[in-house]
Copies of this chain bind each other. A is one copy, B any other.
Amino acid sequence: MSRAVVLLSGGLDSATTLAMAVDQGYDCYCLSFEYGQSHNTEVRYASTLATSLGAKEHRIANIDIGAFGGSALTDDAIEVPDYEAHDNEIPVTYVPARNTVFLSYALGWAEVLGASEIFIGVNAVDYSGYPDCRPEFIEAFQNLANVATRAGLEEKPITIQTPLINLSKDEIIKVGTELGVDFASTVSCYRLDTNGRACARCDSCVIRKEGFAKAELPDPTVYVTQALS
């Protein structure tokens, strides 16, 4: 069996990506990060998902990128705003170089494992306008991986797989549902309340809600507008 490193945030996209990699027959080694994110409960969701979807191993790396600040997701002084259309503007929830750092770690682990693939659930359709989610970024990282590693020099480069890149959010939800992803075990909200309920108004919540609506599938997310059970 070929090995794959799968970046797993605990969100809907990376859960579906993991399910797709498992479905394609890879032995999956999942990697999550504690990077100073205010919404770091997502890492607990990632652990649950890794187990339920059949990963071989799940590692959580503690990394310091939050210490640099510069993002509403890592700096308490910057508020996560309600959803708005961004056009070409990059939102304040953008974390500088986050996917570059995540993929770099994945590359190192893939090299040690002898993995042939790295899966990342980036999506360029229903997304927040981050520069490091675009196909150009992935292509540039692939070119880097080809020259950065022992595997690359030995002409067995590690391939960056982005199975969601051209899917809309409702399509991702449909694929995940077919593959048995329990979306109640995924979290998207950037500002969960202390009871773990999603705000329903940040970018991430709005895109998720609209995805379930368009897919005509039940949305298992617990929102703040719902009473606690």
Interface residues of A (CB under 8 A from B): 59, 61-65, 67-70, 90, 94-101, 103-105, 107-109, 111-112, 131-132, 134, 136-137, 140-141, 143-144, 146-150, 152-153
Contacts and interface: CB of A to CB of B under 8 A. Distances in A.
Given A65-B105, A111-B70, A112-B96, A140 B137 contact: no
Task: Count the copies.
Answer: 2
Contact of A97 (B59, B99, B105, B131): B105
A59 B66 CA distance: 13
5 closest Cβ pairs, A-B complex: A97-B108, A70-B112, A96-B111, A61-B64, A140-B144
Contacts of A147: 131, 134, 136-137, 140
A6 to B, nearest CB: 15
Given A59-B67, A67-B61, A134-B147, A100 B108 contact: yes
